[in-house]
Amino acid sequence: MASIPDLLFKALADPTRRALFERLCLDGEATVGALTAGAGISQPAVSKHLGILKQAGLVRDRHEGRQTHYSAQQRALAPLVDWTGRMNRFWEARFDDLEDLLKRMDQ
Amino acid sequence: MASIPDLLFKALADPTRRALFERLCLDGEATVGALTAGAGISQPAVSKHLGILKQAGLVRDRHEGRQTHYSAQQRALAPLVDWTGRMNRFWEARFDDLEDLLKRMDQ
DNA sequence: ATTTCTCATAACCACCGAGTTATGAATGTG
DNA sequence: CACATTCATAACTCGGTGGTTATGAGAAAT
């Protein structure tokens, strides 16, 4: 019973995988061959990484002829953003209070 | 040469470690003993996890007598927020454009 | 039909990492 | 001083994971 944030964090914990995702985010769609050329590892390794990214929902694949095009699904990052938000809320609130205090002291 | 995002993602990839960090974020400071009572693992395991969180900057320790108090350093999440922001910028921009369009259509 | 190209899967290996128990260091308590 | 408590470190085990090579499946080209 792996939670969604768990899948996301685990998928993005590997630097090679993060690099693949970053490239797809910034440069858009790419084939496995193109991605393999960029990464410094073998094609099967890249395919496995893409499989893990796909399982985490971070990536979509589209088959066209004999090649597979992968693209980033940035929306999948939403739970990550939510999580960091929840972890930050409290000290942010405290920080806001401090700001308010300083603002009031300024008057 | 592990980058900062790498340290953060790796530190938060483990569910036990994330649970420890979450508890420290929500409930504030706690001793190793208290954290060990909550987690379902041995005290040395908890200490090791806290060490990794500390190395990632996510946690601070304060020695008081013979016990060590740990507290969350939520600011350390900043690089994570930045990273997700960079990965999101493009489709967010597109989303903003869409919002603008809808807003203009509404008038 | 045969060959070539692109990708995915299988099988295997080496290492890392999360857990354990044992022990030591430091601080409080009798 | 002797003992107990709290935490960190050491040494070890074991499963998961990232890499490899080998191979197969499917689509295009000749």
Q: What is the reported pLDDT for B70?
A: 98
Per this entry, what is the length of chain A? 107
Strand-pairing partners, residue B30, are B70
Strand order in the sheet with A67-72: A30-31, A67-72, A59-64
Q: What is the reported pLDDT for B100?
A: 62
Q: What is the reported pLDDT for B64?
A: 97
- Find the CATH number of the domain harbouring A25: 1.10.10.10
Check whether residue A56 has its CB closer than 7 Å to nucleic acid strand C: no
Which residue's CA lies closest to nucleotide D19 at its C1' atom? Answer: A45
Task: Average the pLDDT over A24-39 and give the result.
Answer: 97
Q: How many domains does chain A have?
A: 1
Q: Do A88 and B72 touch (CB under 8 A)?
A: no
Q: Is A62 helix (H, G, I), strand (E, B) or coil?
A: strand
Indicate left, alpha or beta for B65 from its phi (over 0: left) and psi (-120 to 50: alpha).
Answer: left
Q: What is the reported pLDDT for B1?
A: 73
Contact A90, A98 (CB under 8 A): no
Q: What is the reported pLDDT for B77?
A: 96
Q: What is the reported pLDDT for A85?
A: 94
Q: Which residue has the higher pLDDT, A16 or B98?
A: A16
Task: Average the pLDDT over A9-30 and give the result.
Answer: 97
Q: What is the reported pLDDT for B39?
A: 96
What does the alpha-carbon distance between residue A24 and residue B106 come to, in Å, rounded to a whole number? 34
The 10 Å Cβ neighbour count of residue A29 is 13
Q: What range defines the domain where residue A90 resides?
A: 4-106
The per-residue pLDDT string of chain B (107 residues; one tens digit each, 9 = 90 and over) reads 789 999 999 999 999 999 999 999 999 999 999 999 999 999 999 999 999 999 999 999 999 999 999 999 999 999 999 999 999 876 665 555 556 655 655 55
Check whether residue B62 has its CB closer than 7 Å to nucleic acid strand C: no
Rounded to a whole number of angstroms, the distance from the CA of B12 to the nearest CA of chain A is 7
